[in-house]
Amino acid sequence: MKHDPFPLTFTAARPGDSLSDALAGRKDALGRTLASAGAVLYRGFAPISGEELDALVRSLSSAPYRNDEESSPRNHVYGNVYTSTNYRSEMDIFPHNENSYKKEIPTKLFFYCVHPGSEGGATPIVDCRKVLNRIDHAVRRRFEARRWMYVRNYTAGIGVPWQEAFNTQSRDEVEAYCRSQDIQFEWLGDESLKTWQIRDPIVRHPVSGDAAWFNHATFFNIETLDADLRASLREMFGDDGLPHNTYYGDGGPIEPEVVHMLQQAYLAEAVPVAWESGDLLIVDNLITAHARKPFKGERRIYLAQADPVQRGCLPGVEPATAQGRAARVAATG
């Protein structure tokens, strides 16, 4: 199956045409297009508000996505529309699939550009089917057999507090949520919480059947951070107390050379989308990762997540080796 061009781009026939009119009745067709192309960009249409974007997203999807376990600070705009991230403007954000560490995953992401910023701020997108093809077979087999683990420490004053991430002040509600989502947890004192969860590293798309590298194993790994920030965090928290880190599913460290190889696989496939005001970029989250380049000036990008799917409902990816198959059977019981 041919995946180019990337993103597939549609430009308004006349500047200022209605985006809602152009996409009216396109819900099913959009799903099929995304399953093949991975990402679609609509450009040159009349500006819309957050409220209008929320209505458009609802017309093009079946259900909104509730985002618990939030790892990035955002501001609410309207309905299910939020700012994309409030992460520091001078920092790169590495490619990732939204919420790949969760049991329930959004399949569609809608990014809308209100203001592109005065300099920089592109959103690179990455075809994770191609990333998978770049990964060394021995590394892929290792991850298939051992899976990957995400460890998170919610520490007062650092990152998103657990109360905000889980949308509650109740420890009992947090514990109930974690149990329902196959997340292990430990309370550390009065304010801190540690969680860890183990997931498969590859998913298969339910429409196209394409397999894609789908995880935060690289994004959240300490080796992906800037060297100065990495050293500072290790000095402050030690490896066990880092706000975010990843491991193999059995708890073993992911070798730095493997992390670096995975980084290069993403970066080799990254295609930057340079924003223009009014752009709507729709991403199939199961097969397309996204990132962000540093920027200057006012940059305002909205994000709506939609059409959640349970991991257990996705087609399985058969491990390449008997060892991997046996490990999956043992892990799933």
Element (H, E) at 193: strand 192-199
- pLDDT bin (cut points 50, 70, 90) of residue 116 is very high
Q: Is residue 3 in a domain? A: no
- The CATH number of residue 168's host domain is 3.60.130.10
Q: For residue 327, is pLDDT > 60? A: no
Host domain of residue 53: 8-332
The model's pTM is 0.91
pLDDT of residue 189: 85
Task: State the pLDDT at residue 49.
Answer: 97
Question: Residue 268 falls within a domain, yes or no?
Answer: yes
- Report yes or no on 264 lying in a domain: yes
90 domain residue, yes or no: yes
| Average pLDDT over every residue of 141-160 | 93
What percent of the chain is helix, strand and coil (3-state, nearest 5)?
A: 30, 30, 40
Q: What is the pLDDT of residues 275-300, one digit of tens each?
A: 999 999 999 999 999 999 999 999 99
Per-residue CA distances from 130 to 4, 41, 207, 262, 289 (Å): 11, 20, 17, 12, 11
Average pLDDT over every residue of 239-266: 97
Residue 184 CB coordination number (10 Å): 13
User: Is residue 142 one of the residues assigned to a domain?
Assistant: yes
63: Cβ contacts below 8 Å, ≥ 6 apart: 306, 307, 308
Least confident segment among 114-128, 170-184, 316-330:
316-330
Tell me if 2 is assigned to some domain.
no
In the chain the first and final C-alpha atoms are separated, in Å, by 35
pLDDT at 324 over 60: no
Domain tally, the chain: 1
Q: How confident is the model at residue 322 (pLDDT cuts 50, 70, 90)?
A: very low
* pLDDT per residue as tens digits for the range 14-34: 999 999 999 999 999 999 999
Determine which helix (DSSP H) or strand (DSSP E) holds 303, and give its type and residue range: strand 299-310
Determine the pLDDT at residue 95: 98
Phi–psi pair at 203, nearest 5 degrees = -120, 160
Is residue 315 one of the residues assigned to a domain? yes
Is the predicted pLDDT of residue 333 greater than 60, yes or no?
Answer: no
In a domain, 139, yes or no: yes
Average pLDDT of the segment spanning 39-49: 98
